[in-house]
Amino acid sequence: MSVATPYFDQLFDGNDDPWAFRQRWYEQRKRALTLAVLPRPHYASIFEPGCANGELSAALAPRCDRLLCCDAASAAVALAKTRLLDFAHAQVRQNRLPQEWPEDRFELIVLSEWCYYLDADDLSRLIDCALGSLTANGQLLACHWRPAIDGCPQTAEQVHALLDQRLAMPRVLMHHEADFLLDLWSRDGTSVAAHEGLR
């Protein structure tokens, strides 16, 4: 069973940064790596489900023309909206996924640190939703903490294996460390250098 919304509501109760995204060097470095591995300097549209308090969202915003973020926890949505006030092209919604997946189209979907909260059935539904909303040149990035988390129905390895199987798209980047997995799939498997005519 997927982790229910009250779990996340409790995490944000009186705490505006429950995972210490702003303070921990681990989080700052991982965020920098996430941005660095994106093959394109700019995207027309990015979707970040599970945006929490919007720290990664604020880093993604300068890389796109339109940013949509969502979270199930109302406090997280309020925090993310505040964090993104300087970006008029960014929108934050309160959605429970995969049930309330948006109808928009996206060049990039960023699944960062939350798919292990979904059981295999919900993750499969989410992947189907993502495939349906990716543009013809769309990409999907996933980044997840490797150690098991109490109460989570899946591990990072299980999540990324299911993504690889169900997306059926070229995986153009793999960055795996002891702490986390960072992978990117693209409908266009062309390398960055090839896009610039260097190969």
pLDDT band at 163 (very low <50, low <70, confident <90, very high): very high
Strands 43-49 and 106-112: parallel
Considering its fold, how many domains does the chain have in total? Answer: 1
Please list the alpha-helical segments (H only) found in 37-180. 55-60, 74-83, 120-133, 156-167
Residue 123 is part of which domain span? 5-195
Q: Are the CB atoms for 73 and 12 separated by under 8 Å?
A: yes
Model confidence over 30-77: pLDDT tens digits?
Answer: 999 999 999 999 999 999 999 999 999 999 999 999 999 999 999 999
3-state secondary structure 176-194: ECCCEEEEEEECCCCCHHH
Q: What angle do CA 139, 133, 60 make, to 5 degrees?
A: 50
Model confidence over 78-132: pLDDT tens digits?
Answer: 999 999 999 999 999 999 999 999 999 999 999 999 999 999 999 999 999 999 9
Token pair of 137, please?
């040149």
Least confident of 18-22, 23-27, 172-176: 18-22
SS3 155: coil
Instruction: Give which of 70, 144, 137 is closest to 106, Cα–Cα.
Output: 137
CA atoms of 40 and 127, how far apart (whole Å): 22
CATH number reported for the structural domain that contains residue 50 in this entry = 3.40.50.150
